[in-house]
Structure 1
Amino acid sequence: MDELIAALCFQIPAPADESESVDGWRVLIPAPDANGMIRGDDGRAWKMSDPDAVVATYTGPRPIDVNHAEDLQAAAGNPAPASGWIEEIRANNGAIEGRLAFNARGAASVRDREYRYLSPAFRFHPETKEIKRIDSASLVNTPNFALALNRRGAPDANDNPEANAMDLLAELRTALNLKDDATEADALAAVKTQGTELETARNRPTDTPPLDKFVPRGDYDALEQAKNRAETQLAERDQADHKAKVDAAITAAKAAGKITPATEDYHRANCRTAEGLEAFQTYVAAAPEIGADTGLDGKTPGSGAGEALTDEEKAACRAIGVDEATFAERRDADAKAYG
């Protein structure tokens, strides 16, 4: 039966100062308790009856990665660079210790407290829970990260590996936007596809981006200029149309005697906007005639003596507060005097 993988977490002590090395021996698997069990924070437990047998499986340096990239990323074909190495392991008072040697990046991460915990990953027998060998170790910030590895096939607290496998598959379906009936093979294919697309994007020349996601700058500028020209032409056309409407309304109002030439500029200024034109048309519709035909065209001065006042003359009487009869008498007198 295939061995399963699990992990424990231990806090990495901070160096006293920058000169102190972060390398050295660290506990990877603690000594069993009085009941012969090694218990994790998540409630799971394993056995390690023979630490020396576990040490004997060590065949060379084992990687120290970040967030178990060796198991979660490398398996999908993605990069999983090491931050250091487990250079050797030993049994010590029932526990297994590893001599850690960090590279510059890993040492900086530990020294700067970017990562506070070390999480060794190990193989164990699914039925007896006997620990068989140490695979790697990871820098992590979540002490219970072992639960994520547990979903890759390690039995949970209820010894139900199938439930854990289904949990992982459900999470993969959601993360990869797959259908509810997608299989593990579908999920793995989707992960590989994303890795290929990412690598392709990284290797694509920066001066030839895909046309389905980017527009060449020259084309964009041309479109922007065409848009600006269209907007300018539309605004000019709208202005010309509005001016024609104002001209027609002013001309009609003068012809109807609703406004006088003296007030044309005033009304035209009020018609600068569509709302102003609408207000002017409403005013003209309700205004009385103040410039009606006087009937004097073709007549000589004095020819109107004795005639009734015209509408314009009556309006003048109202404007200056003169009685219409008095106005008529004066008008007739002027006609006789200057006729």
Structure 2
Amino acid sequence: MPSIQPRLAVLSAAAAMSSAAVAACSFAAVAPPESNGRYLLQLTPDQDFTPSDGRPMDVPAWRINAAIASQVISRFNPAQPPVIDYEHQTLHKETNGQPAPAAGWIHGLRWIEGRGLFAEAELTQRAKDVIASGEYRYFSPVFLYAPDTGEVLKVTMGALTNNPAVHGMQALNAMQAAASAQFSPTATAPNEDAMNLLQLLLASLGLPSTTDEKGAMAALTAVGSIKDLQAKAAAGEAATQVATAACTALSLPADAKAETVTAALTAAVAKPDLAKFVPVETVTAMQEQLAALTAKQLDADIDAAVKPALEDGRLLAAQEPWARDLGKSNMAALTAFLDKAPKIAALSSTQTQGQPPAQTAKGDAQLSASELAVCTALGMSPEQYKAGAA
């Protein structure tokens, strides 16, 4: 991850804010619910992209590809699913005082080659109803990106919106089953699929391509019967081999009767050789102790990395929870980030570790509405934002 502080991109024209290089563009595609009841919402295309509303950009384009998406997916924390709301009200509630009800939650990310990055989302019944009725047509993700390269870094939240800023993307349609064929990256026409499958089947059976469906089914039935006989023969041979091996291990003659083998096995199990076998309880206790020691060592390693970074300004106090979560999932990534992060002398020289004294309500008013929205998206207080900006 780049050492430069990441920027926030809000992919909806209605939520555009200029003071923190907040980008705005929205697009979406939703497939019918999968077996777990979740929907697939398109977050980005499968290549570098820019908004189409002409806003100024601090990077040539936002960058995304399979490799970058893999890093974004690795940073996703399913234990804290990002919220999906309506019109990015979560970002605006500090300024307009209105509630920000959830439309759903993002439980996972998925890269689909040729289509882009998708969110595995749980939608509320209200959200599904407004999509089905056409009240909302687009989905707008919010993500962090590197200001020096434009690479997408992390998906932080999303919203249903009607103000798209990236054209050519599919509209929301969670209710139409036909969308599944449009969503599938390898989907073809049903008739074409059936013909391709029949030709592959005939080829695998060694039948001519002109064989009709009835002939193919007869051949399949014959193959099934042969396979069944082969399986039974193999099972009988395997049983004989097992019986012979058991007799040899128990020092019994190869023609020993079943009851003799059973008695010998029972005696061996009742009195196992403690020099060769370890009780299950002992192994379980050892595994639990090893897991506890591993977790304790990881916590110690994270403390050893995070605390000095807080002291010398490589991390802000607001970044500590994120840094600790990253360390638990990928300690190497946290170490690499801290190795590249610059030390901020102004923070290391203060007693408050980069956090200024609490401000009054009047001091909070020094931030603009856009800056307050960025604070909300990043989980920072106004004081922490101003300390970081300084």
- Normalised by the length of structure 1, the TM-score is 0.38
- Normalised by the length of structure 2, the TM-score is 0.33
Q: Which structure has the larger Rg? A: 1
Higher strand share: 1
Q: Which structure exhibits the higher relative contact order, with contacts defined as CA atoms closer than 8 Å and separated by 6 or more residues? A: 2
